[in-house]
Structure 1
Amino acid sequence: MRLDEDGVRRRLTPARVARLATVGSSGAPHLVPITFVVDGDALLFAVDHKPKTTTALQRLRNIERNPAVCVLADEYDEDWSQLWWARVDGQAAVLDDPADIAAAMRALQGKYEQYRERPPHDLVVRIDITAWTGWAASSS
């Protein structure tokens, strides 16, 4: 069954991980897992302390060139009546205001204990959501 915005929010908000899709300079999609928080009509994620070769990440370069992004979370279960997916589309930007970054960090720390123990870097992306879509096998 197709999910309305409230149904997408109910599934997406508590999800622990999602996939961020950006568009590379060649036009090819670039997909990475993210931890995130939904904040009203926005989704926030940070470049965190998990091992990376650099903080000059492809996803950030892609957003700078083309801010149109998509985020997808889903649930798989052997009981296919429990399947669902939730997707948001939007416009992304790296935050530069210290107050906005601090508020985003507090929101992320509220969801993830790991961020309370070891706060992310100060690179935070805000996605202003323009579309909420989803599907679920059942209404539960």
Structure 2
Amino acid sequence: MDAVPVVYAMTGDHVGIPVDTIKPKSANPLQRERNLHADPRAALLVERWDRDDWSRLWWVRAELRWCDDTGAALTDSLAELLAATYVQYRDRPFARLLVLQVVGVTGWDAQSR
């Protein structure tokens, strides 16, 4: 599994990750898409770090499974969330969305110790 930084939107138990419009010389589909075709498993790691207050540290790891064939309603909902969250995505400059379903969650936080 390759680690790749991403932006994402989440609704229910689905995560949407945009595939930005690709430069003409870039490979299409991207390597991350080819990897999902070969093995639909993925993980999303989200963390909170506070330089001044380590009691606020936490992380969550979502185990994901790529959904090759999702309905337009789910994809549109995730695209709308991306547009509302990130100003760079207001005009939806992405070529497509990768939609993944959360199948497991683990995490840790400093306050529970």
Q: Structure 2 length as normaliser, TM-score? A: 0.81
Contact 1:63 1:93 in 2 (8 A): no
CA displacement 1:80-130 (0-9 Å, x = unmatched): 212110111021134565554333321211211110045211x21111111
Equivalent in the alignment of 2:89? 115
The answer to whether structure 1 residue 85 and structure 2 residue 55 are counterparts is no
Query: Number of residues paired by the alignment?
Result: 110
CA distance in 1, matches of 2:56, 2:72: 41
Amino acid at match of 2:29: A
- The 1:81–1:118 alpha-carbon spacing in structure 2 relative to 1, beyond 3 Å, is same
For residues 136 and 48 of structure 1, what CA distance do their matches in structure 2 show?
Answer: 33
Unpaired stretches in structure 2, ≥5 consecutive residues: none
* Aligned 8 A contact 1:109 1:119 in 2: no
Root-mean-square deviation (Å): 2.3
What corresponds to 1:40 in structure 2?
Answer: 12
Aligned mates of 1:120, 1:35 — CA distance in 2:
12
Q: Given the alignment of the two structures, is residue 129 of structure 1 paired with residue 87 of structure 2, yes or no?
A: no
Which consecutive residues of structure 1, in runs of 5 or more, have no partner in the other structure?
1-28
Aligned to 2:76: 102
**Which amino acid is 1:73 matched to?**
V
After superposition, what is the alpha-carbon deviation per residue over 1:27-78, rounded to whole angstroms, capped at 9, x for unaligned? Answer: xx21100100111011111102487933421110010111011110112222
Percent of aligned pairs sharing the same letter: 32
